[in-house]
Amino acid sequence: MTEAAGPVAKRILVTGGTGLVGNAIKKVVADGEGQPDEEWIFVSSRDADLTSAAETKALFEQHKPTHVIHLAAMVGGLFKNIRYNLDFWRRNIHINDNVLHSAYEMGVQKVVSCLSTCIFPDKTTYPIDESMIHNGPPHSSNFGYSYAKRMIDIQNRGYFEQHGCRFTAVIPTNVFGPDDNFNIEDGHVLPGLIHKVYLAKQTGSALTIWGTGKPRRQFIYSLGWVPLQWEGWGTTATLQEPSAPPQDLARLFLWVLREYDEVEPIILSVGEEEEVSIREAAEAIVEAMDFRGELVFDTSKADGQFKKTASNAKLRRYLPSFQFTPFRQAVKETCTWFTTNYANARK
């Protein structure tokens, strides 16, 4: 919990506060971006299993939040989604309904939930924008996760129309950064490949990239700049303070919480021109970790959705000069974090 420096006007409950995105928000708040009238409470499944309505209600009664950033979810990369579509649907539907309904019952002023660009229709025109969420079936590989996430948008609309609630959602592209899930079987592509390169360097073996390497993704860094002295980083003292700190996803969450007033969701993405192929993403990791071995593509593995190119035009209308950390720099920082924190990283 982060204590407020002044009289508390906002008590902000962050569900999923121990995950990739939750940890990034915790770091930027600790870095001085919390405001004096804000008290921040970061919770995980150890505080309450949000698939349980009773535990969720008790959590809200305990903390009495005025605002909620709702990140908690069953999350995983393509291959975990393929194996557990039913579980993704059921767990996330329960978590989201419990959180949104407890927020309504407790009179929470604002909820910011988290969708994902992988929930958009597979067959679509590009770039994808916020109006297209419900325009057709999602890619079959992750239909459980996608339909559950889409229903948050339906509930937000319902809570607004029936009860006037200001519940909204953001739509990030593929997220990565420190504190990600680096599990090779279950995690997303960047943390999975970082872990694979780490192991391949130890054993002198090739790097195996799953699929053809041709699908394309927009990656958004969770964190942006944090001070060198951040205590959770152990000896990771390689980051330099840039002249104008770039911002990235965690700081965008703070902006949405404080200033974005629409119920309609907003895509949080780098530009369309920043989209890279899986091969290019792997090459960025190879360069960052100075891996000299062979790259092998295992085309017996699925490619998933070919691309989900999203427009950040709406974000740019609100924040025309918003800066993202360049992809290769963010990859380098994440690789450094993983190698330095290997013993304790989620893997």
Residue positions annotated with a catalytic role: 145
Given ligand GDP, ligand NAP, none, residue 24, with its beta carbon under 5 to 8 Å by kind, binds none
Indicate whether 103 belongs to the interface with ligand NAP (CB under 6 A): no
DSSP-assigned states of every residue in 278-335: HHHHHHHHHHHTT--S-EEEETTS----S---B--HHHHHH-TT-----HHHHHHHHH
d(CA 94, CA 177): 27
- The option from ligand GDP, ligand NAP, none interacting with 114 (CB < 5 to 8 A, set by class) reads ligand NAP
Q: Binding partner of residue 330 among ligand GDP, ligand NAP, none, CB under 5 to 8 Å per kind?
A: none
User: Does residue 114 belong to the site contacting ligand GDP (CB under 6 A)?
Assistant: no
What H or E segment, with its residue span, contains residue 154? helix 143-163
Mode of pairing for the β-strands spanning 10-15 and 38-42: parallel
222 binds ligand GDP, rule: CB under 6 A: no
**Residue 327 binds: one of ligand GDP, ligand NAP, none (C-beta under 5 to 8 A by kind):** none
What part of residues 272-331 is at the interface with ligand NAP (CB under 6 A)? none
Q: Is 247 in the site for ligand NAP (CB under 6 A)?
A: no
Beta carbons of 95 and 51 less than 8 angstroms apart: yes
Give the one residue of 68, 75, 99, 197 binding ligand NAP; rule: CB under 6 A: 75
SS3 24: helix
Helix (H, G, I), strand (E, B) or coil at 131: helix
Q: Of 176-195, which residues contact ligand GDP (CB under 6 A)?
A: 188-189, 192-193
Contacts of 103 (CB under 8 A, 6+ apart): 60, 65, 68, 70, 111, 165, 167
Min dist. Cβ of residue 36 to ligand NAP (A): 26
Map residue 198 onto helix, strand or coil. Answer: helix
Interface with ligand GDP (CB under 6 A): 77-79, 118, 174, 188-189, 192-193, 196, 209-211, 215, 217, 278, 301-305
Interface with ligand NAP (CB under 6 A): 16-22, 44-46, 49-51, 71-75, 95, 114, 116, 172, 174-175, 181, 188
